[in-house]
Amino acid sequence: MKYLITIFGLFFFSLILQAAPDYSKQGELPVEVLEFRDLRDTTAPSKGRQVPIKIHLPISGGPYPVVIISHGAGGNWDTHYAQANHLASHGYAVFCLEHVGSNTERLKKGIRIFHNLEKMIHDSREVLRRPRDVTFAINQASQWNYNPGKLYRRLDLFHMGMMGHSFGATTTMVIGGMRPALDWLEPKVAPGSGLGPNLMDNRVKCGVVLSPPPPGDPFFLMTSYRYLEIPLMGISGSKDKSLNGQPPEDRFESFKLWPDPQNKNVFVWLQNASHLDFTDSTGGDQHGRESSSRSDVQPIVRAATLLYFNQCLKPSVPGNITFTAETLKRYLQGQITNVEVRRN
């Protein structure tokens, strides 16, 4: 009898999973993509800096919650093209920034890729100007939203989130209040060590950080984390090595340092996922490096990201769920053999 009950329970659970929406799939809203290549920040200390923005959003309706995406070192505004398009199809306006001091063009300059990568992540000007790119983009979004034009009244600026990968995760965490370390930056910024300036933008209410950095060279000190003021979801995996040689597990363990006053922090850990799996430029004009397990990782990343932003930015929408490891296991495939979900 117990055996039959177990079989029935498993069957019933499988029916529930089959009936649940597939959050990894494209939504029902058709999406358009707008390009703004020649935008420039006119404020000090970034005065004259170009901040290209590519926007994915539904072709009509709104206002839609805004998500800003910050690419990693050597990326561009298409590094997360497919992920941005996925979110837009579910009712978001997604602003993909290009950080010109740490983009693909700078990475390939002089065909010295590893040297350029090391230099850009230790560049004090770039570390400190990336968050200012985000603030510029938010200010620009406000102008577009309140002045007649294509984006007039289509942006919900009261519900704004951010997503970033690697260096972009650092930028997201700094926007959320964390203070960058000065110890490893060149040229030196006074006083030369300890914590850098507060570059938080409190208009951003939550963040998704893909491959979030642990404390240590080049980005954060242990004390940086105490200043975090927004809820975050981190996603990483057991093959997600840091450039400085720190093991992937350090990313997972640093989750313990995140303050969680709203009880919304979460960390998704994927067995066998590697660093480049968390980007997807499919559909964009520029394409990054290939990864053999990206197609196995992306369904989980897309589903978790959508569910988290829905929870934080669309709290009144019926059908929102707080996901668990069991929720995400339906997306396991190929090389990704397990998913853990940790909460504080």
pLDDT digits (tens, 9 = 90+) for 260-318: 999 999 999 999 999 999 999 999 999 888 999 999 999 999 999 999 999 999 988 87
Contact of 312 with 206, CB cutoff 8 Å: yes
pLDDT single digits (tens) 251-262: 999 999 999 999
Domain span at residue 44 reads 29-343
- Is 277 within a domain? yes
If you average pLDDT over every residue of the chain, what do you get?
93
- Is 68 within a domain? yes
Does residue 5 have a pLDDT over 60? no
Does residue 323 have a pLDDT over 50? yes
- CATH (domain of 327): 3.40.50.1820
- Is 5 within a domain? no
Contact of 83 with 71, CB cutoff 8 Å: no
pLDDT single digits (tens) 31-67: 999 999 999 999 999 999 999 999 999 999 999 999 9
pLDDT single digits (tens) 136-154: 999 999 999 999 999 999 9
Does residue 16 have a pLDDT over 80? no
Q: Which residues contact 106 (CB under 8 A, 6 or more apart)?
A: 74, 100, 116, 120
- Is 24 within a domain? no
The residue among 302, 300, 280 whose CA lies nearest residue 291 is 280
- What pLDDT, on the 0 to 100 scale, is given for residue 19? 62
- Is 81 within a domain? yes
First CA to last CA distance, the chain: 39
Contact of 270 with 336, CB cutoff 8 Å: yes
- Is 331 within a domain? yes
- Is 232 within a domain? yes
Which has the minimum average pLDDT: 17-21, 179-183, 311-315? 17-21
Does residue 15 have a pLDDT over 70? no
- Is 11 within a domain? no
Question: For residue 271, what are its two tokens?
Answer: 């067995």
- What pLDDT, on the 0 to 100 scale, is given for residue 20? 81
Domain count, the chain: 1
Rounded to an integer, what is the distance from CA 144 to the centroid of its chain? 23
Beta bridge partners of 266: 233, 343
The residue among 92, 226, 79, 230 whose CA lies nearest residue 167 is 79
- What pLDDT, on the 0 to 100 scale, is given for residue 319? 76
- What pLDDT, on the 0 to 100 scale, is given for residue 306? 98
Which has the minimum average pLDDT: 17-26, 83-92, 216-225? 17-26
